[in-house]
Amino acid sequence: MVNEWKKRWLEDRIGWHEKHGNASLKAHWASADNKSSVLVPFCGKSKDLLWLASHGHRVVGVEVSEIAVIAFFNENRLIFKEKFYKNIKLFEAQDIAISIYCGDYFNCNLPKADALYDRGSLVTIPPERRSNYIQHTKSLLHNDAYRFIITLEYEDGFVQGPPYSIGAAEMLTYWPDLIQITSYNDIDNSSPKFKKSGLNEVLETVWGSC
């Protein structure tokens, strides 16, 4: 899985990337603490990191591809420094509170975060590894952490993930206390392969904790 994602970045096959960030994050993020640390798994070069940091959060991204990490800092003209944390390469912006750990997410044992922003990570995990992802993510969060998770749901038989379809019933087995904030057809902003497959509807569902 690690090598596959590195290859996608190397070949610029990043149809999931949103050039202007995620609209649902901007509309529905509701963490009461604007000084909290926010864990962002599989962060890529997402503009959402900038949005969270601009609202006072200390952003902690994790990304396996160094190409993506370097691109994030260069494209946003951010000065950064590199160092190592427990044998994981760490990139830190100098003028804004954004740090990105570059390595396999499942091997990252980081300080516990106050909040979680998951837009494109859970949906990339194959079903057989999903519970491992959930357990590892929970281990990186404080018990009372605010969680904001975005999933996709679409009809079977059209495309093969990732991103994978995750229904509400499955989602609530992982996070029983989450509430569904909104759900809407986001086919126009989804990966191009969805439209090419003939799908007319890809539901983007936003989940949050109180």
pLDDT of residue 95: 94
Q: Is residue 41 part of a domain?
A: yes
Q: Is residue 145 part of a domain?
A: no
pLDDT of residue 2: 73
Boundaries of domain holding 78: 1-9+33-111
| CA 98 to chain CA centroid, nearest Å | 15
Q: Provide the domain count of the chain.
A: 1
pLDDT of residue 65: 95
Q: Is residue 196 part of a domain?
A: no
Q: Is residue 149 part of a domain?
A: no
- CATH number of domain containing 77: 3.40.50.150
pLDDT of residue 171: 96
The Cα–Cα gap between 121 and 1 comes to 12
Q: Is residue 85 part of a domain?
A: yes
Q: Is residue 42 part of a domain?
A: yes
pLDDT of residue 13: 75
Residues 6+ apart with CB under 8 A from 188: none
pLDDT of residue 1: 67
Q: Is residue 159 part of a domain?
A: no
pLDDT of residue 140: 98
Q: What is the pLDDT along the chain (210 residues), one digit of tens a residue?
A: 677 777 877 777 776 778 889 999 999 998 867 789 999 999 999 999 999 999 999 999 999 999 999 999 999 999 999 999 988 999 999 999 999 999 999 999 999 999 999 998 999 999 999 999 999 999 999 999 999 999 999 998 888 889 999 999 999 999 999 999 999 999 988 888 888 899 999 999 999 997
Q: Is residue 126 part of a domain?
A: no
